[in-house]
């Protein structure tokens, strides 16, 4: 499909399903995930926390946008970003894109195993590598948003992620994104190994294709909690924002 046609399709409006109260609901898309934090427990992310929104790019998110699970996932993400931006001051938010420095894709090479899953993406001006409109429209540098490039599943692969987290003295990260078996799992493992407190928002995480509930549930119900990383609902995440902060960055704060 021509790039212009792809962008037109990706920019189509998304129906945001919400509860009667107008708040995001735990919609169990594609399947219900049990939180590792009891519902009656008060949760706080502290002051030195960062929000990671991973791989919401056209080339991946666009294929899910018109599915029931995809619509719910994007709606939850939009509500989450808005809630994060409403904090005073907003915490650091990092968004990742997958793209390469040149059309020859020197970061992966023709024989790289990752080329089988990420080789379809091009450079930064490739429309498929740009953030999906629902997310892109919310990115605001004035509200401490940062967009970085990466070239593997892990959000810190060939990217400044770890340097930014260290420089800003972050100790806690809250993850949303696509895919559970890709960037989410790889990033959970790595940041857990680096001694960060890791939270994954179940509602804001999805597998590709979205009709893979077995893989999704196995990762979020089984693998992530076994690491003692946390899986929470979007309601818990938004409530935790109100118990956290004010967000602090670096030594001067």
Distance from C-alpha of 100 to C-alpha of 151, rounded to nearest angstrom: 7
Predicted local confidence at residue 117, as pLDDT = 75
Q: Where are the domains of the chain?
A: 3-243
Q: What's the CA gap between 95 and 125, in Å, rounded?
A: 17
**Residue range 20-44: average pLDDT?**
71
Which CATH number applies to 3-243?
A: 3.40.50.850
Tokens at 200, concatenated: 């994954």
pLDDT value at position 108? Answer: 84
Q: Per-residue confidence at 23, pLDDT binned at 50, 70, 90?
A: very low
- 61, 208 Cβ separation under 8 angstroms: no
- In this prediction, what percent of the chain has a pLDDT beyond 70? 84
% of the chain residues with pLDDT over 90: 51
Given pLDDT bands bounded at 50, 70 and 90, which one contains residue 123? confident
Q: Which residue has the tokens 């806690």?
A: 172
Q: How far apart are CA 221 and CA 196, in angstroms?
A: 20
What is the average pLDDT across 141-165?
93
Residue 120, pLDDT score? 80
């Amino acid at each position: 499909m021509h790039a212009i046609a792809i962008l037109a399709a990706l920019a189509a409006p998304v129906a945001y399903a919400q509860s009667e109260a107008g708040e995001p609901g735990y919609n169990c898309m594609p399947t219900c995930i049990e939180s590792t934090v009891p519902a009656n427990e008060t949760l706080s992310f502290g002051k030195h926390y960062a929000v990671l929104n991973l791989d919401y790019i056209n080339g991946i998110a666009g294929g899910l946008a018109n599915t029931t699970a995809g619509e719910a996932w994007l709606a939850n993400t939009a509500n989450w970003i808005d809630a994060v931006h409403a904090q005073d001051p907003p915490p650091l938010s990092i968004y990742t894109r997958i793209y390469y420095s040149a059309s020859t894709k020197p970061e992966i090479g023709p024989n790289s195993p990752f080329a089988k899953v990420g080789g379809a993406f091009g450079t930064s001006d490739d429309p498929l590598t740009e953030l999906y409109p629902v997310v892109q429209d919310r990115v605001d540098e004035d509200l401490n948003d940062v967009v970085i490039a990466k070239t593997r599943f892990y959000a810190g692969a060939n990217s400044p992620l770890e340097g930014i987290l260290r420089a800003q003295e972050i100790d806690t990260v809250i993850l949303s994104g696509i895919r559970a078996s890709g960037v989410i799992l790889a990033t959970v493992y790595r940041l857990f190994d680096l001694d960060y407190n890791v939270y994954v928002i179940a509602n804001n995480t999805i597998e590709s294709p979205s009709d893979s509930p077995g893989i999704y549930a196995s990762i979020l119900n089984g693998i992530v909690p076994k690491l003692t990383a946390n899986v929470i609902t979007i309601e818990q995440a938004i409530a935790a924002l109100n118990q956290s902060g004010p967000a602090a960055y670096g030594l001067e704060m």
